[in-house]
A and B are shown apart, each in its own frame.
Chain A
Amino acid sequence: SAVISQKPSRDICQRGTSLTIQCQVDSQVTMMFWYRQQPGQSLTLIATANQGSEATYESGFVIDKFPISRPNLTFSTLTVSNMSPEDSSIYLCSVGEVDYGYTFGSGTRLTVV
């Protein structure tokens, strides 16, 4: 199955700033997913990142707040913009493969102060 390298693993950021999270996959994958896990909660899908087109956002998430890039089939970034303490969460990228199911990155633990 695919191997995902996600970074940074954690960061502490000032409110009003932005953070870009990167995910690099060791093989070409069609679909990449970005999730948020708020403290004590389960995973919530933010968006699906498609190569060569705009990301598809879930209800409650907008491109201005969470811009996503997908320049090729092995790489994607998620930016958390104009951060507030409510954005403190774990952010995870994931890829889905028919034969192997879903592979997740190691997560980015974001704290906004």
Chain B
Amino acid sequence: KNEVEQSPQNLTAQEGEFITINCSYSVGISALHWLQQHPGGGIVSLFMLSSGKKKHGRLIATINIQEKHSSLHITASHPRDSAVYICAVRYNNDMRFGAGTRLTVKP
């Protein structure tokens, strides 16, 4: 079993829809990261969370430390949000990555 599990693997949405991507982890962590990877391969760090909730524009990330679970929400989704979203956790100075969720937003 992977230490970081993401769901769904693939997600197709219509423009304007509310998107939720989930991440569950099985280890004690010091921080959780949500990353966005575009088709060219480059990765952008969206959020770093250790508790609670963060918001940046249309993106919202939440984490429940007790349940070892985090969610990434996208409100009013847009085709430019199409990317792979990766959940990563940091523990013992190591990073462990989820397999990613491929999001496609259709106009």
Contact = CB atoms under 8 A, between A and B. Distances in A.
B95 interface: yes
Interface of B: 31, 33, 35, 40-45, 48, 86, 88, 90, 94-95, 97-100
B44 A104 contact: yes
A106 B94 contact: no
Closest 6 CB pairs of A and B: A107-B41, A101-B48, A106-B42, A104-B43, A90-B41, A42-B97
Interface string A27-60: 0000001000100011101000000000000000
B95 A37 contact: no
A102 B40 CA distance: 19
Main secondary structure of the interface of B (DSSP, over half): strand
A103 to B, nearest CB: 6
A107 B31 contact: no
A9 B90 CA distance: 27
A37 to B, nearest CB: 7
Interface string A99-113: 011111111110000
B56 to A, nearest CB: 13
A100 B41 contact: no
Nearest to B32: A101
B45 A101 contact: yes
Contact of A102 (B41, B45, B99): B45
Nearest to A92: B43
Given A102-B88, A109-B40, 18 more contacts: A42-B97, A45-B95, A96-B95, A100-B45, A100-B48, A101-B33, A101-B48, A102-B45, A102-B95, A104-B45, A105-B42, A106-B40, A106-B41, A107-B40, A107-B41, A107-B42, A107-B43, A108-B41
